[in-house]
Amino acid sequence: MFMSHAGRQRLQEREKKIMAYYDDMGPGKGNCTVGYGSLVRRSPCTPEELKTLVTEEQVQQLFLVDLTNAERAVRNNIKTTISQAQYDALVSYTFNRGPTGARPVFKLVNSGNFRAAGKEMRKSTMVRIKKNGKLVLVRARGLVDRRNEESAPFLHTTN
């Protein structure tokens, strides 16, 4: 199974292509990122990176690598039958959270507890940022809508 064209398009819309290096939680906060949310590293970008030009080809290559990794993680971890909408949602979730972050949801899906999986997905709205030299948890407003959308195929099912 692979992510549908519609799922892939929605993922790209949700991630919003940024043709530059940027800090995903605002200047000096979060992680250095490029393109469609491709992680460069788990700390803010350097001043040099912020000045570096990126090409469409680089952005598309990084997106394909990240998408392929997310799809592989879902295929390798899900052992039960799911719909295309559920698969697309899991790939999107895994693209954003990473395979380790998605593991609790994978376990719930495999146990057949789709509603609990959807509820677990909805919880993943907090991110760590550096504030006054300390790491603190904050709710990322953009993740609330994303998680509502990703969890819907699991919350609105008969399984």
Q: What is the pLDDT of residues 116-145, one digit of tens each?
A: 999 999 999 987 777 788 888 888 888 999
Q: For the domain that residue 142 is a member of, what is the CATH number?
A: 1.10.530.40
Listed in sequence order, the DSSP H helices in the chain are 5-15, 47-51, 56-77, 84-110, 114-123, 141-155
pLDDT band at 159 (very low <50, low <70, confident <90, very high): low
Cα–Cα distance, 127 to 141 (Å, whole number): 10
Angle between helices 5-15 and 56-77 (to 10 degrees): 120
> How many folded domains does the chain comprise?
1
- The enclosing H or E element of 131 equals strand 126-131
Q: Which domain holds residue 143?
A: 5-155
Per residue in 47-84, pLDDT tens? 999 999 999 999 999 999 999 999 999 999 999 999 99
